[in-house]
Structure 1
Amino acid sequence: MDIGVETRLNRLATNGRMVNIPMDHGITLGATAGLRDIESTIDAVTRGGADSILTQKGLASRVHPNKNGAGYVIHLNASTLLGPDANDKRRTGMVKEAIRAGADAVSYHMNVGSNHEPEQLADLAEVTRVASEFGIPVLAMTYARGPNIDEHDSDNLAHAVRLAEEIGADIAKTAYSGDSESYQRVTEAVRIPVIMAGGSPQTDRQMLENVSGAMEAGAAGVSMGRSVFQHDDPRRMTRAVSSIVHDALSVEEALEISKL
């Protein structure tokens, strides 16, 4: 592995395990709860144990003073819920812009099986090509989404993360299949780290059970957005997630130490 990529990957994880909090949802959802005062949310989640933060490039100046030494990922595409097709993610930034903004890595969202797969596939390939020139890691958010696609089927998810590895990404993020046994088929489909996407918010216990199941299945960590930054107490929720990812605590223990 390129020394630049390896060095920057280490900034995003603790002992190879990662708790990433994506907060790029402002384009998709608008200034929703947890994102209006994003400075306070970033401070809270990084104090709670987040290894890295993820936003769009325009928020870099609001991220750096508040991330308490955590890593930083800049996301390079987006869509809105107001638009004609939320699966049609379009470029919002370039690798060079992310580097200038102080990012340790870049990320790109791709919907495998959607009508926009061909364009997104080519675009992700270009992102990995340029990123490799600068030694900056790529986090590929590869989801199984499209007409008649089961977004939580383990075979579809395994295909999605394998695509990420084949095209040159350094980390693959995808949805949870619902149980540890089936998710193991996803993590074993590749040799790059797989991190679990949080998805739509559920109860605290259910989210933590998903985290625990993913880690048991061999995931390298999680990337959880709305279930953390929209939480009544983002710091405590992050602490609970981090205790499972980094300290291998049970769900009950995580709920107890975080006082959720």
Structure 2
Amino acid sequence: MSKGKEVRIARLLKAGRGLDIALDHGVCNEPSFLDGLEDMPGVIDRLVAAAPDAIQLNYGQADLLQLRPGRERPALVMRLDMGNPYNATRHRSMWAVLQNEHDPVLPAVQMDAACVVVNLFMLPDEPELFRQCVQNIARVRADCDRYGMPLMIEPLVMQAHGAGRGGYMVDGDAEKIVTLVRLAREMGADIVKADPTSDPKDFHRVVQAARCPVLVRGGGREDLQQVFARSRVLLDQGAVGMVYGRNVYQHANPSAVVSALMAMIHEGASAEAAWALYESGGAVRSR
């Protein structure tokens, strides 16, 4: 790994561990994802005060974080791609494209990001979408190597459209997740953002396949006690942190959720201790 990548990863992962709050949902073009994100400047203000390790944004919102006065702020993780698999309605054509096809990583360099992230979709009967993702990753990886920018790949194994709650939902099959995570590593991932396995105790297999830091993807909003309980098991299975979005910004007190998750990731807090911290309103950590 290049020195530039090492420096940026050190900004993203404190002592090798980290919490990345994902606020990049606007490019999904799905109205339900925007609940809680209507006032982006206000959301950023509250989350910066809560002091997670990183905030994940698209280029068009990155200024809200990076142009803040002072030097103490979460690291920026920049989303480089966009697609239509998250819509409740299935489209005739499924696609995933880079937001800047000419020089995709340059905007992240210009905005002083610590890392970039790109999807690797595996949807049933959508081989063309998968091929597009592979092409995107190959294009981005070359630029990441050139600029010394860490590459986070997000392998996403989905169930058939309409299964479960509608739309494409996560397939927690450990065998499928491990296989796709291994592919992400083969393509040069510096960090993997992976879905939790249906049985969290199988997640060590994902960590083994990645052979690089693994952050757990959060998905849709759930009961917080269940989120904390599952997160503790996943951390114990070898995850170095989380990339949570809706399970933070769609809850009543996002700052308290951040405090609880940071205690779990950096201090080894139990799920019960995290819940107690959340109920108490959390506490802003010193950075």
Q: Normalization by structure 1: what TM-score? A: 0.92
Do 1:211 and 1:245's aligned partners in 2 also have CA atoms closer than 8 Å? no
Deviation at 1:63, TM superposition (A): 2.0
Secondary structure in 2 matching 1:27: helix
Superimposed CA distance per residue, residues 200-230 of structure 1 (whole angstroms, 9 cap, x where no aligned partner): 1110101111211110110011100111011
Take 1:229 and 1:150, find their aligned partners in 2: how far apart are those partners? 20
Query: What is aligned with 2:77?
Result: 73
Query: What is aligned with 2:44?
Result: 42
Where in structure 2 are the equivalents of 1:171-182 lying within 5 Å? Answer: 171-182=191-202
Secondary structure in 1 matching 2:216: strand
> Which residue type is aligned with residue 184 of structure 1?
H
Secondary structure in 2 matching 1:189: helix
Deviation at 1:186, TM superposition (A): 1.1
Where in structure 2 are the equivalents of 1:89-108 lying within 5 Å? Answer: 89-93=96-100, 94-108=104-118
- 1:53 partnered with 2:55: yes
Take 1:177 and 1:87, find their aligned partners in 2: how far apart are those partners? 25
Deviation at 1:110, TM superposition (A): 1.4
- Paired residues in the alignment total 260
Do 2:8 and 2:114's aligned partners in 1 also have CA atoms closer than 8 Å? yes
Query: What is aligned with 2:9?
Result: 9
Query: What is aligned with 2:284?
Result: none
Do 1:139 and 1:172's aligned partners in 2 also have CA atoms closer than 8 Å? yes
Take 2:34 and 2:94, find their aligned partners in 1: how far apart are those partners? 20
Where in structure 2 are the equivalents of 1:119-198 lying within 5 Å? Answer: 119-145=132-158, 147=160, 151-198=171-218
Query: What is aligned with 1:200?
Result: 220
Take 1:258 and 1:179, find their aligned partners in 2: how far apart are those partners? 25
Do 1:198 and 1:224's aligned partners in 2 also have CA atoms closer than 8 Å? yes
Give the 4+ runs in structure 1 shifted more than 6 A.
Answer: none
Report the aligned-residue RMSD. 2.2
Q: Normalization by structure 2: what TM-score? A: 0.84
Secondary structure in 1 matching 2:62: helix
Deviation at 1:44, TM superposition (A): 2.3
Deviation at 1:78, TM superposition (A): 1.3
Q: Whose radius of gyration is greater, 1 or 2?
A: 2
Query: What is aligned with 1:22?
Result: 22
Query: What is aligned with 1:225?
Result: 245
> Which residue type is aligned with residue 187 of structure 1?
V
Structure 2, unmatched stretches of 5+, are: 162-168, 281-287
Secondary structure in 2 matching 1:207: helix
